[in-house]
């Protein structure tokens, strides 16, 4: 199962199932820089992947201390309601 840095399962993403995208990779993988450069070259850069690569983290919600950040709070790729629930539950730990 392939999962994007944002947490979306690539196998359930319409872009991948329609053959538009090959799927994402972990932000700390050796191929991540190449993926970002490719996406830039086709004017389809994912802000979430770009940030994860720069921070050298695999997956945002698991690895980034700033999650959810402004990229996510801008409703990409999750809604404000989901992020509100996520924040609330994280405070209960």
Q: Is the pLDDT of residue 15 over 90?
A: no
C-beta of residue 68 within 8 angstroms of C-beta of residue 84: no
Question: Mapping DSSP to helix (H, G, I), strand (E, B) and coil, where does residue 20 land?
Answer: coil
C-beta of residue 52 within 8 angstroms of C-beta of residue 60: yes
C-beta of residue 43 within 8 angstroms of C-beta of residue 37: no
What distance in Å separates the CA atoms of residue 36 and residue 34, rounded to the nearest whole number?
Answer: 5
On average, the pLDDT of the chain sits at: 86
Q: Is the pLDDT of residue 34 over 90?
A: yes
pLDDT band at 82 (very low <50, low <70, confident <90, very high): low
Q: Is the pLDDT of residue 55 over 90?
A: yes
Among residues of the chain, what percentage have pLDDT more than 90?
42
């Amino acid at each position: 199962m392939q999962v994007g840095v944002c947490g979306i399962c690539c196998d359930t993403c319409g872009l991948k199932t329609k053959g538009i995208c090959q799927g994402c990779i972990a932000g700390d993988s050796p191929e991540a820089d190449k993926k970002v450069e490719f996406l830039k070259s086709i004017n389809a850069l994912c802000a979430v992947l770009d940030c994860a690569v720069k921070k050298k983290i695999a997956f945002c919600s698991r690895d980034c201390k700033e999650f959810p950040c402004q990229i996510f709070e801008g409703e990409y790729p999750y809604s404000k309601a989901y992020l509100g629930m996520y924040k609330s539950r994280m405070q209960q730990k």
